[in-house]
């Protein structure tokens, strides 16, 4: 690590060829899958970090995917639900964790809620049933609060 001319911070730079290895945050994508009754489907995590806590289904974006494709893939892997992302709930920065998180509202278009390998349980919650004390991550809380602040309603019930 050392100074790079014209940059505002030290960077990992090869002293021989000058190549700079940028250490950037990773993108996490996920969904708030909402059913026709207006219930949000959350997972209870089977892995660390956040083991046993409730979270949106999500994970790291893979090379070659759009953010929406990655969010839908992660939701399918963790819940067995096929979803269609319909809009961005929020974009959240966690510099201390080295991640940026994009959460989408999603319409459930198929499947039954069955936990994948990274989930202990999949459960649908009305807004009044959300288990706030047991939420795994601040980003989950932030996304749920942003969704609720807009007036929770089933996907597709938005007014023009």
pLDDT, tens digit, 9 for 90 and up, residues 16-32? 888 888 889 999 999 99
**CATH number of the domain to which 101 belongs:** 3.90.79.10
CA distance linking residue 13 with residue 21, whole number of Å: 6
For residue range 32-84, what is the model confidence (pLDDT) as tens digits? 999 999 999 999 999 999 999 999 999 999 999 999 999 999 999 999 999 99
Structural domain of 45: 24-149
pTM for this one?
0.88
84 falls within a domain:
yes
Residue 120 placed within a domain = yes
Q: How far apart are CA 47 and CA 137, in angstroms?
A: 13
Q: In the numeric block, which tokens belong to residue 104?
A: 């989408």
The total of structural domains in the chain comes to 1
Q: Is the pLDDT of residue 138 over 80?
A: yes
The answer to whether residue 76 is domain-embedded is yes
Could you report the per-residue pLDDT of 117-135, keeping only the tens digit for each? 999 999 999 999 999 999 9
Cβ neighbours around 121 below 10 Å, total:
15
Look at residue 10 and tell me if it is in a domain.
no
């Amino acid at each position: 690590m050392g100074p790079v001319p014209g940059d505002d911070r030290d960077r990992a730079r090869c002293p021989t060829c000058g190549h700079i290895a940028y250490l950037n945050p990773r993108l996490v994508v996920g969904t708030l899958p909402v059913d026709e009754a207006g219930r949000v489907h959350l997972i209870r995590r089977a892995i660390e970090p956040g083991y046993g806590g409730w979270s949106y289904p999500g994970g790291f974006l893979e090379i070659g995917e759009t953010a929406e494709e990655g969010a839908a893939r992660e939701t399918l892997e963790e819940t067995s639900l096929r979803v269609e992302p319909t809009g961005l709930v929020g974009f959240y920065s966690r510099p201390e964790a080295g991640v940026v998180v994009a959460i989408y509202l999603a319409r459930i278009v198929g499947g039954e809620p069955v936990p994948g390998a990274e989930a202990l349980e999949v459960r649908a919650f009305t807004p009044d049933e959300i288990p706030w004390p047991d939420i795994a991550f601040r980003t989950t809380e932030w996304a749920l609060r942003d969704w609720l602040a807009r007036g929770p309603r089933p996907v597709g019930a938005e007014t023009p």
